[in-house]
Chains A and B, each alone.
Chain A
Amino acid sequence: MLIVVILVALLIIVALIVAYGAFNAQTSAQALGVKYRVLNSAEAGANLALNELAENPNYPSGNCVNGTLNAKPYSGCVELNNLGNKGTPQVPDPETGTLITVPANSAYIYGESSFQGGRKVYIEAIADPSPPLTLPAGAINSQNDVNDLAPEPIMQDPLSPGDANVNADGNINVPGTPSTVQGATSAVGTNQIPGGTSGGAAIKFPTQIEVQQAAQNARSLAQAGSQVTGASLSSGSGGAIAGNTYVNGDIQLTKGTITITQGSYVYVNGNVCVSGSGVIANANQGQNVFVVSGVMAVTGTGNYNAAPGQNSLLLVLGSDPTTFSPCGAAPYALDLEPTGTPSQIGTVYSSAGSVYLGGSTTLTGAADGSNVLIGGGPSSAFKYDSVQSATTMTTGTLTYSAYNEY
């Protein structure tokens, strides 16, 4: 009997030791988890304050919004809103009391959080309006290579002769006969167009963050307008998009005309495929943007038109299809191969994929992309429109220009 009691006691002691060790391990792992959760909660507060300010640039100074993330309460405060002002006022740091100078047209915001009343974690930031989405001047600009596959005339803008410049931050490759360019050609790498510049200076494209901000801003404004489905515009009888509009789903247009008017932001959450006798006529005025979240192709007698003399930006966010295009076209994010009537395309920008310029008609505007392929040949032409290329879309959002946490 005594032996049994001793054995049971030993087993209980061992179990307690094992349980204690496991508890200690769990406790130390939890402590790190709490750190992350409190930090994320404070950051959520700062981000919420930033959103409040983006939605209302006149958001009053000293106001806070509260919330909870990861079961940790946070506050997000716009401590000093100096947006739209030229002065450089100062405001005390909420934690240290040190005076912080808030630059002109900026705001000082912070988020704070803590765990069960413990040490507060602060995320503080200076927020500025995001820079506009400025695209480089020139008829054709590539972040990587320009592949001149067929000798297509790249024509100047009649308003400023000799300005149809072609630039590549990689190489300009010419496997056959080069295109005739009424402007300068320059590549950071090798430029195979005779008379062009090799080893030239790089041109500046918007960063991915700027593109995402511009796209997100366009999406928000489009969603705040009207919403239609891509299917409803793909019936063949065309349709009208009036005002800022969010199109959910692919547009597969083989006939009919979709007319876009009275707005500045159209966001297509899907692909846009125009072929047959389908036409997208973008008659929006002034600075306007047509965003395609997937890929876009214009083939056959299909057409995409922007209004002449405006600042129309066609922004395609998708990357090159790896196997086949959802539009049944060539595997490029933006495939422009119309064979019908000449068209104004405005500035087209494929931020993550290639632009293919082909077909057998004249396209007028400016083409920017991760890669640009010139493939139309003598039966086609690309004509520069310097007014359209001056697109500098404001993103309407705010971004952190300085960030600190403690």
Chain B
Amino acid sequence: MRPSKYRSARHARGFTLAEILTVAVLFGMLLTTIAAVIPAVMRAPAQMQSQVDEVNSAALALYKVQRDARQSDVNGVFNCTTLPIVACSQQVGPPTQTQAVAIAGNDSSQFFLTGGQNSGQASWTGYTVYWLAPSSSGIGMDLMRSFEPVVSNILNGVPQFKTADATWAVTTALLISSPDVAAGDVRKLLVGVTPANGIVALQMSAGVNRGDQTELTMYGNTYARN
């Protein structure tokens, strides 16, 4: 095949200075753009993973709170303040924001009383306490968890849940120097109960508290079964 006139002519004369400069400028702009975009793109997955991990961690914590509430009695769930003083009360009605929640229950796998007239009933051995505390990283709040033994007596088949016991459990939990962190970056915890139908309403807001302020609110209403 014969080479075209155009290709022959171009090869013969080479590139002009203007052509080379234009290409160089365009290529420079392209590289600059890529250099600016790539770090952000490369950071994005890690950032997304971080957000997902933190929200997922909060979702797991909500799962734990739900589970403790499900195995509790609706009258054994208390909203508590941690500051300026510890004070617990039952929040009857829609969930309201709380600094801590105390849930009556049992931290072992053996949950049934095995003797006496109360055999077969739930064995109330203490309160699981969840509370919000400043994160060790200094950014945002973490949700802490601890089980504090306080025996609730059963009188005529009815467990006796007392606000004083719940308050004591929360007070004791707050004294733990390195409590278990149930979830990081939890912004809000809301709890409420409806004794008439045994529902414990739970709500938790969580998310990354750095810069982008991503927040996700999760709902976890459950029946207290005991």
Residues of A at the B interface (CB closer than 8 Å) are 3, 7, 10, 14, 17-18, 20-22, 24-25, 28-29, 32, 35-36, 88, 90, 93, 95-96, 98-103, 106, 108, 125-126, 207-209, 400-406
B109: contacting residue among A21, A96, A108, A207, CB under 8 A: A96
| Seed contacts A25-B48, A36-B63; 8 additional CB < 8 Å A-B pairs | A17-B41, A24-B45, A96-B109, A101-B120, A126-B120, A402-B121, A402-B226, A404-B111
Q: Is the CB of B52 within 8 A of A25?
A: yes
Q: Is the CB of A96 within 8 A of B110?
A: yes
**Assuming the A-B contacts A32-B59, A126-B112, are A405 and B67 also in contact, with contact meaning beta carbons closer than 8 angstroms in the complex?**
yes
B139 to chain A, nearest CB (A): 21
Chain A interface main SS type: mixed
Residue B214 lies at the interface, judged by CB distance under 8 Å to chain A:
no
Task: List chain A residues, Cβ under 8 A from B109.
Answer: 95-96, 404, 406
Q: How far is it, in angstroms, between the C-alpha of A99 and the C-alpha of B114 when the chains are bound?
A: 8
Q: Is the CB of B110 within 8 A of A21?
A: no
Q: Is the CB of B71 within 8 A of A405?
A: yes
Q: Is the CB of B63 within 8 A of A17?
A: no
Among residues of A, the one whose C-beta sits closest to the C-beta of B37 is A14
Residues of B at the A interface (CB closer than 8 Å) are 27, 34, 38, 41-42, 44-46, 48-49, 52-53, 56, 59-60, 63, 67, 70-71, 106, 109-115, 119-122, 196-198, 225-226
A88: contacting residue among B49, B119, B196, CB under 8 A: B119
B110: contacting residue among A7, A10, A98, A102, CB under 8 A: A98
Q: Is the CB of A22 within 8 A of B45?
A: yes
What are 20 A-B residue pairs whose CB atoms fall within 8 Å in the complex?
A3-B27, A7-B34, A17-B41, A18-B45, A20-B45, A21-B44, A21-B46, A28-B52, A29-B56, A90-B114, A96-B109, A100-B120, A101-B119, A207-B197, A209-B198, A400-B226, A402-B226, A404-B111, A404-B112, A405-B67
Task: List chain B residues, Cβ under 8 A from A406.
Answer: 109
**Assuming the A-B contacts A21-B46, A207-B196, A404-B111, are A102 and B52 also in contact, with contact meaning beta carbons closer than 8 angstroms in the complex?**
no
A188 to chain B, nearest CB (A): 16
A21: contacting residue among B27, B49, B112, B197, CB under 8 A: B49
Task: List chain B residues, Cβ under 8 A from A32.
Answer: 56, 59-60, 63
Task: List chain A residues, Cβ under 8 A from B60.
Answer: 32, 35
Among residues of A, the one whose C-beta sits closest to the C-beta of B106 is A404
A70 to chain B, nearest CB (A): 15
Q: How far is it, in angstroms, between the C-alpha of A20 and the C-alpha of B49 when the chains are bound?
A: 10
**Assuming the A-B contacts A25-B49, A32-B59, are A18 and B198 also in contact, with contact meaning beta carbons closer than 8 angstroms in the complex?**
no
Among residues of A, the one whose C-beta sits closest to the C-beta of B52 is A25
Q: Is the CB of B63 within 8 A of A35?
A: yes
Q: How far is it, in angstroms, between the C-alpha of A98 and the C-alpha of B44 when the chains are bound?
A: 51
Task: List chain A residues, Cβ under 8 A from B198.
Answer: 209
Among residues of A, the one whose C-beta sits closest to the C-beta of B56 is A28
Task: List chain B residues, Cβ under 8 A from A101.
Answer: 112-115, 119-120
A22 to chain B, nearest CB (A): 7
Q: Is the CB of B52 within 8 A of A29?
A: yes
Q: Is the CB of A17 within 8 A of B119?
A: no
Q: Is the CB of A208 within 8 A of B197?
A: yes
Q: Is the CB of B197 within 8 A of A209?
A: yes
Q: Is the CB of A18 within 8 A of B115?
A: no
Q: How far is it, in angstroms, between the C-alpha of A96 and the C-alpha of B114 when the chains are bound?
A: 14
> Which 5 A-B pairs have CB atoms at the shortest separation, nearest pair first?
A21-B45, A403-B225, A404-B111, A103-B120, A101-B119
Among residues of A, the one whose C-beta sits closest to the C-beta of B120 is A103
A403: contacting residue among B115, B122, B196, CB under 8 A: B122
Task: List chain B residues, Cβ under 8 A from A404.
Answer: 71, 106, 109, 111-112, 122
**Assuming the A-B contacts A21-B48, A28-B56, A126-B120, are A402 and B63 also in contact, with contact meaning beta carbons closer than 8 angstroms in the complex?**
no
A100 to chain B, nearest CB (A): 5
Task: List chain B residues, Cβ under 8 A from A17.
Answer: 41-42, 45
Task: List chain B residues, Cβ under 8 A from A10.
Answer: 34, 38
Q: How far is it, in angstroms, between the C-alpha of A109 and the C-alpha of B189 when the chains are bound?
A: 34
**Assuming the A-B contacts A88-B119, A404-B71, are A100 and B45 also in contact, with contact meaning beta carbons closer than 8 angstroms in the complex?**
no
